[in-house]
Structure 1
Amino acid sequence: MLATLAPVRSLLLAIFVMMAGSGFLSTLIGLRLERAGSDTILIGLVATAYFGGLTLGALRAGAIVRRVGHIRAFAAFVALLSASTLTYALVQHPLLWALLRLVDGVCVAGMFICVESWLNDRAEPETRGGILAAYMVALYSGQAVGQLFLSTGAATPAVPFQIASILISLAILPVCLTRSTAPTLGEADNLPLARLFAASPLGLAGAAITGLILGAFYGMAAIYARGIGLGLGAIATFMMTVILGGVALQWPLGRLSDRYDRRRVIITCFALALAVSVALAAAPGSGLLLLFGAAFGGLSFALYPLCVAHANDRLLPAERVSASGQLVLLYSAGAALGPLGAAAAMNWMGPGGLFLFIAACAAAMLGFSLWRLAVTAPVPAPAQQDFQMLPRTTPVAALLDPSGPEAATVKD
């Protein structure tokens, strides 16, 4: 395994450090805005700007990478993200911060595109699964570790932003010092949404609804946690528990979906996510809060790769990579709307409104899934594709999926 990862270790280190620096900014910015007295809707708007930037970057940043190359593009995205992060410490104004979050999203998407396309170029068919798993571990463990920096600003409010900027800046070193030759970024074909919906309405709707759920959580979870009385240390622990729970349950749930009708596993996950969200809306005590948080992370993080796998089961092999790219864009669009929906619910129902909004999304998708189960036949078990853990980052990540063709849908 170590030999498999040796050619990409610098890229994995870069993504870990980058996520450790940028992964806690959503939580930190939400808390700072809440402490300054900003309206919940305004906080949701700032969170939406970030996911809007991610979507824009996923669509447009590839052109920059193709024009100037991976290393220069990565350096430019890092420099801009680091500068943006320091600007939060200089001026606190919600509208400025919304603009900065838009810039942050574009930069993070650009960095993901650089790393994911590079990983894809270095991966061989027999090593692709191991590299994808290592990438997922580096990404989510970095995001989890970053939450620990939330409480560093107790004495000096600028310190968390300074730490984030330092870590983001350091992420450039493994990439700039690598001896690995940068690849040429191709363009992935786009599968028409009409064809994707005709093949897998459940996969398409599931990706979008999962975006609503996780966009709402990432954008507003800190406000929920503050609203139920948690301090900075407890908020960091809660966020880290949700992220680590998400990593822990993806693989077992995915293996289960390989053995049984995948739609039933998706339905079960949405049903359990609904139940857990209602429990979290009731603001349970600290012990149960972490337990429910880990369960919520495990169930909600698994939904996107489960929906992608279900869509792949119903597509031709040559369509799978481009379909996965479309699904991650649908996820991103949902994530951009999630914080605003959650903020409106929290304005109406208090902190627990976040998880009641998430429960409503899960309930709607549960009903749709049950209808699809009733009107369509299952894919025979031997015809199902193997489940793969997939990041919800950019369409380029779909190229890392070992179950799809490497070059059939990529044109130079």
Structure 2
Amino acid sequence: MLGVLRSTWPLLLGMLCLMLGNGLHGSLLGVRGPAAGFAPLTMSLIMSAYFAGFLFASRMVPEMIRRVGHVRVFAALGSFISAALILFPAIPHPVAWIAGRLVLGFCFCGVYVTAESWLNNTATNETRGQTLSAYMIVQMLGIIVAQAMLLIPDVSGFLLFVIPSVLVSISFAPILLSISPTPAFESTKRMTLRELYGISPLGMVGIFLLGSVFAAQFGMAAVYGTEAGMTLKQISIFISAFYVGALFMQYPLGWISDRVDRRGLIMAVAALGAAAAVVAWLASSFWLIVAAAFVIGGCSNPLYSLLIAYTNDFMEAEDMAAASAGLLFINGVGAIAGPLVIGYVMQAFGASGFFALIAGLLAAVAAYALYRMTQRPAPKVEDTGAYAPVMPNSTPIAMEVAQEYFIDHAEDDE
């Protein structure tokens, strides 16, 4: 791991700055929007727009890079991010914020794709797993530290929007000064959703539902905290708990998944997350809600990696890359739908609807996993692939790194 850090620290530092900016702006909007009089349903439209832009960019950005190159795409989209971030307080209107989030989703996906391309280019077959792990840790730490920045005094109302803009601008330096030429994108044969569902119904349904759960955490947690009457400090702790839980639970669950029937583990982890959401739904104690958020984050985020690994267990190595586009698409659709549904539920039934819907989504994953266990036998543990940590907001490049890791291990096993 130290060797990986020595060779990739400029890229990882740049990605950390990007995640700080992204993590801060999302939570900041979740706090400022309700303060400006935006209803939960309006906030859900604003938050959902980010994931719509992200999904659109995951299809468009590779073609943009083929045409004009990594550096130009990275610089252009990064400039749009910096500009969009400081326009939010200047135009406090729902339509402007929806448009801004759509632009940010597109641009953040674009800069992640280009930065991850360079990161992937530095990895070898021997270091790919460690590179993926280091990248995921940086992503998590960026979001966690960003929540503490919510507490910076902001008398003018502009400072907290300027900070993520500056962080994104700073991220360019270590990334652009450390890169080497990156190979052009290669076209990958796509797998239809029908084919993907035929290979792994649980993988496809589970990733769709988890897309909604992750989007709720990333987009609507601050809105929930504001509607529930939490202070800024409490909101910061509450949101951080999701990602601290994910950071702690990712590797233990990954270790277990390589040694048991993954469907049983998926069912148990999803059921535990649903139970924690029910506790948070009924709880009145702030610290009990934080503890439940820790468990929910520790269950829902690793579940994404578990479902990818489980899906790959039923694929030949040459089909894994083709399946990644379908998995990303279905996750993106779920991420767009999640904030919209949660915003409607919160507006109709109050802030507690946030946890009620998360409980329902995770319970649905657990129930479907149990059902699938009755439909076909599990593959032998020695025939299953390796687990690789992947965030639910993965871009095509992060998925490519993960799939190459799976393929390398599959070939080694053969």
TM over 0.5, shorter chain: yes
Supply the distance in 1 between the matched residues of 2:155 and 2:5 (Cα, whole angstroms).
Answer: 41
Moved over 6 A (4+): none
Alignment counterpart, residue 406 of structure 2, candidates 390, 404, 407: 404
Q: State which drifts further: 259-268 or 322-331.
A: 322-331
Counterpart for residue 342 of structure 1:
342
Q: State which drifts further: 34-43 or 395-404.
A: 395-404
- Contact 1:23–1:142 (CA<8 Å) still a contact in 2? yes
Counterpart for residue 175 of structure 2:
175
Supply the distance in 2 between the matched residues of 1:215 and 1:43 (Cα, whole angstroms).
Answer: 13
Structure 2 residue 358 is the aligned partner of structure 1 residue 363: no
What per-residue deviation string (whole Å, max 9, x for no partner) do you get for residues 105-144 of structure 1?
Answer: 0001101110222222221100101111111111111111
Supply the distance in 1 between the matched residues of 2:275 and 2:352 (Cα, whole angstroms).
Answer: 14
Amino acid aligned to 2:396: P
How many residues are matched?
A: 406
Structure 2 residue 184 is the aligned partner of structure 1 residue 184: yes
What per-residue deviation string (whole Å, max 9, x for no partner) do you get for residues 50-97 of structure 1?
Answer: 010110111111111222211221111110000000111211101110
Supply the distance in 2 between the matched residues of 1:19 and 1:159 (Cα, whole angstroms).
Answer: 18
What per-residue deviation string (whole Å, max 9, x for no partner) do you get for residues 372-411 of structure 1?
Answer: 11111111111111111012321221221253347xxxxx
- Contact 2:24–2:150 (CA<8 Å) still a contact in 1? yes
- Contact 2:217–2:242 (CA<8 Å) still a contact in 1? no
Matching of residues 25-104 of structure 1 within 5 Å: 25-104=25-104
Counterpart for residue 302 of structure 1:
302
Counterpart for residue 265 of structure 1:
265
**Unmatched 5+ stretches in structure 2:** 409-414
Counterpart for residue 409 of structure 1:
none
Structure 2 residue 280 is the aligned partner of structure 1 residue 280: yes
- Contact 2:14–2:174 (CA<8 Å) still a contact in 1? yes
SS in 2 for 1:188: coil
Amino acid aligned to 1:399: E
Supply the distance in 2 between the matched residues of 1:379 and 1:93 (Cα, whole angstroms).
Answer: 53
Supply the distance in 2 between the matched residues of 1:247 and 1:187 (Cα, whole angstroms).
Answer: 33
The structure-2 alpha-carbon separation of the partners of 1:338 and 1:179, relative to structure 1 and needing over 3 Å to count, comes to: closer
Counterpart for residue 352 of structure 1:
352
Supply the distance in 2 between the matched residues of 1:171 and 1:3 (Cα, whole angstroms).
Answer: 22
Supply the distance in 1 between the matched residues of 2:44 and 2:179 (Cα, whole angstroms).
Answer: 42
Supply the distance in 2 between the matched residues of 1:63 and 1:8 (Cα, whole angstroms).
Answer: 26
**Unmatched 5+ stretches in structure 1:** 407-412
The structure-2 alpha-carbon separation of the partners of 1:153 and 1:185, relative to structure 1 and needing over 3 Å to count, comes to: farther
SS in 2 for 1:156: coil
Supply the distance in 2 between the matched residues of 1:400 and 1:315 (Cα, whole angstroms).
Answer: 17
SS in 1 for 2:88: helix
Amino acid aligned to 1:37: G
SS in 2 for 1:391: coil
Please give the TM-score of this superposition, normalised by the length of structure 1: 0.95
Amino acid aligned to 2:351: P
Supply the distance in 2 between the matched residues of 1:374 and 1:63 (Cα, whole angstroms).
Answer: 42
SS in 1 for 2:388: coil
Amino acid aligned to 1:224: Y
What per-residue deviation string (whole Å, max 9, x for no partner) do you get for residues 326-362 of structure 1?
Answer: 2122111101110010011111221110110111112
Counterpart for residue 142 of structure 2:
142
Supply the distance in 1 between the matched residues of 2:227 and 2:41 (Cα, whole angstroms).
Answer: 15
Counterpart for residue 411 of structure 2:
none
Supply the distance in 2 between the matched residues of 1:284 and 1:397 (Cα, whole angstroms).
Answer: 39
Amino acid aligned to 1:12: L
- RMSD of equivalent CA atoms: 1.4
Shift of 1:153: 4.6
